[in-house]
Amino acid sequence: MYSKGFKPLAAATVVTLATAMALVFFYAPLDADQGFVQKIFYVHVPMAIVSLCGFVAGGIMAIAYLRSGDSSWDLRSYVAIHISIILGVGVLATGAIWARASWGHWWVWDEPVLVSFLVVVLLYCVYYPLRFSIEDRERQARYSSVFAIAAGAFVPLNFAAVRMAEAYTHPRVLSQTGGNLPGEMRLTFLVSLLAMALLFVTLWKLELISKHASMQLKRLKRKLAERETVAA
Amino acid sequence: MIGAAGTILRKDIRLELRTKESVPAMTLFTLTVYVLFHFGLDRDSLDGELASGVLWVTLLLAAVIGVSRLFAAEREQGGIDGLLLAPVDRTSLFLAKAAALFLFLAAVEVVAVPAFGLLLLGPGLGGALPELLAILALGDLGIAAVGALVAALAAETRARELIVPILLLPLLVPVLIACAQATEPLLRQDQAPEDLGRWLGLLTLYDVVFVLLSVAVFDYLLED
Amino acid sequence: MPALPLDEAGKYVAGAYVVFLTLVVVYVAIIGAKIARIDRELTELTSEDGE
């Protein structure tokens, strides 16, 4: 069900990723202020954008589940959130490295992306205990969907609030998402963003394939066990 | 629907007035936290952003207690099934519970805010009272809507007491940001509100989103 | 803070990209292992059933 078109997708992802890396290191010019360290921007920011979109997408898929009752939507939502959390942790890690390289500290509070992600990752960490503390599968899916929707709506609001707060306490103009990126940097950034988005979809499909196969296997085992007990 | 919500709300208020389980505990909690902050920060008086932060963090932590107990009465008396069997739609239940939480928070603040002015605040509260009330009202509305939603989400999980704080508090970060930033200039010596419109605007947006979302989604919870 | 010299900065940039690639590789490896296990169990079952 999910494996249609996977191979070309994976291939496209690998190609785009390789292209992006090549652009980052051989094409994009060196930043005047931050020097070589600025290259982290091309992996940190796309991860952030894709992760945030992934959380919102997880919320939308959860809406689809609640309206249709089709549990494959719940599975899609779960996997989207799962991968977004992993990317979110990556955002925090790469952000910390960037902070350390740029400002000497492993954490800075005046980076709205970093701070927003701390809150978002903390929030979504509750997804797993909430989900797995409910045993009934249908109720588990329903409650997880409600969480996914609330959290998905929360993510943009949180981003806005943190951004507003930072503008007040630290009126430093950090051109990280690049209001005025020069052409070569912009191209590199866009390709990196595309690569990250393709990577997300590929990993998402991959995990769906794996989970689907595992469910089929369980069903098959159960059927075989039933047949044996009937025959016995 | 409003009628049904009103009935549930009245029942909850009557129950709270009789048993006095949530509001006094929440109020006592805020006073205790003020004392903790006094010793923890080693300060006699606060103003500006420190005062604003201490006040709002304390109120949020007290809200966690209120949220944990929001469906307690139904659970303890096995009443939640009774509520669900009756032809009450979940929306009424949400409105009632959110309204109850809002009223409990307001009741706590009637004591907690003046107490803060007395114990920890340097400049007086009087001058900026109307603005402070507006911030409290919009902030409490957001806390009430999200609190009722979280209470329902956690109502039937086994690890309820653990899940409510770690679920509720991150969701309330935008409320904290807006309320603390809006309150900060009011608690300074000069007490002139700054950019109040911005922060009230953010609070209103948050409140609208989460009230509508919770109303839409509550039907899928507490079903059986 | 002035920009780090190229050799020092290189370590940090490498670190960031290594973190990213590690996350991806570990994730794919875990799923790959799961799929391999499913495949194995499937062949076991089909060989049992075919008897």
Side chain identity at residue B101, one-letter code: L
Q: Does A213 touch chain C (CB under 8 A)?
A: yes
pLDDT beyond 80 at B68? yes
List CB contacts of A229: < 8 A, sequence separation 6 or more. Answer: none
Q: Is A75 on the interface with C (CB under 8 A)?
A: no
For residue range A89-104, list pLDDT tens digits in order. 999 999 999 988 888 8
DSSP per-residue string spanning A166-196: HHHH------SS-TT--HHHHHHHHHHHHHH
Q: Which of A119, A147, A153 sits opposite B153 (nearest CB)?
A: A147
Yes or no: say if A42 and A20 are a contact pair by the CB < 8 Å rule: yes
**Residue burial A214-230, b: 16+ Cβ < 10 Å; e: rest:** eeebeeeeeeeeeeeee
CA distance B198 to chain A (A): 9
Q: In chain B, what percentage of residues exceed pLDDT 70? A: 92
**pLDDT tens, B89-139?**
788 889 999 999 999 999 999 999 999 988 888 777 777 788 899 999 999
Band the pLDDT of A65: cuts 50, 70, 90.
very high
B209–A contact, CB cutoff 8 A:
yes
Under DSSP, the state recorded for C5 is P
Does residue A173 or residue B169 have the better pLDDT?
B169
Residue B4 token pair: 């049904």
- Highest mean pLDDT: which range of B180-194, B195-209, C36-50: B195-209
Q: Which residues contact A153 (CB under 8 A, 6 or more apart)?
A: A59, B209, B210, B213
Q: What is the pLDDT of residue A19?
A: 92
Within 10 angstroms of residue A132's Cβ, the number of other Cβ atoms is 12
Closest CA relative to residue B214, chosen from B148, B160, B141, B151: B148
Query: What are the distances in angstroms from CA A126 to CA A9, A81, A88?
Result: 31, 12, 14
Q: What is the pLDDT of residues A128-154, one digit of tens each?
A: 989 988 888 898 999 999 999 999 999
Contact between chains at B167 and A145 (C-beta distance less than 8 A): no
Write out pLDDT tens, residues B132-182. Answer: 999 999 999 999 999 999 999 988 766 778 889 999 999 999 999 999 999
Nearest-10 crossing angle of helices A183-231, A71-103: 140
Per residue in A45-57, pLDDT (tens digit) is 999 999 999 999 9
Q: How many CA atoms lie within 13 A of B152 on its CB side?
A: 31
pLDDT score at C2: 59
Q: How high is the pLDDT of residue A171?
A: 44
Q: Which of A154, A159, A162 is the mutation pick for testing B, counting most B CBs within 10 A?
A: A154
- Closest to B50 in 3D by CA, of B170, B175, B187, B149: B187
Taking CA atoms, A24 is separated from A13, B50, C27, C51, in Å, by 16, 43, 24, 57
Q: Which of A202, A210, A220 to mutate to test the interface with C (most CBs of C within 10 A)?
A: A210
From A214's Cα to the closest Cα of chain C, the distance in A is: 6
Q: Which residues of C touch A228 (CB under 8 A)?
A: none
When pLDDT is averaged across residues B24-29 and rounded to a whole number, the result is 94
Task: Name the most confidently modeled range: A63-67, B88-92, B115-119, C7-11.
Answer: A63-67
**Is 50 exceeded by the pLDDT of residue A175?**
no
Q: Say if residue A176's pLDDT is above 60.
A: no
pLDDT of residue B83: 54
DSSP count for chain C of H helices, then E strands:
1, 0
Residue A134 Cα, gap to closest chain C Cα (Å): 24
**Closest listed residue to residue B202, CA positions, set B125, B152, B150, B142:** B142
Q: What is the ipTM of this complex?
A: 0.87
Rounded Cα gap, residues A171 and C47, in angstroms: 68
Q: What is the mean pLDDT of residues B192-216?
A: 91
Has residue B60 got a pLDDT over 70? yes
Return left, alpha or beta for B157; rule: phi > 0 is left, psi -120 to 50 is alpha, else beta: beta
pLDDT at A84: 97
Which residues of chain A neighbour B210 with C-beta distances below 8 Å? 150, 153
Tokens representing C1 are 């803070």
> What tokens were used for B105?
């928070």
CB B179 within 8 A of CB B139: yes
Euclidean distance between CA atoms A62 and B140, whole angstroms = 28
Read off the tokens for B222. 């507490």
**A143 contacts in chain B (CB < 8 Å):** 153, 157, 221
pLDDT band at C43 (very low <50, low <70, confident <90, very high): confident
User: Using a CB-CB distance cutoff of 8 angstroms, which residues of chain C are in contact with residue A203?
Assistant: 24, 27-28
The answer for residues whose C-beta is within 8 angstroms of residue B25's C-beta and 6 or more apart is: B65
A:C CB pairs within 8 Å: 82
Q: Which two tokens stand for residue B21?
A: 């389980």
Mean pLDDT of B177-201: 87
CA distance A90 to chain C (A): 6
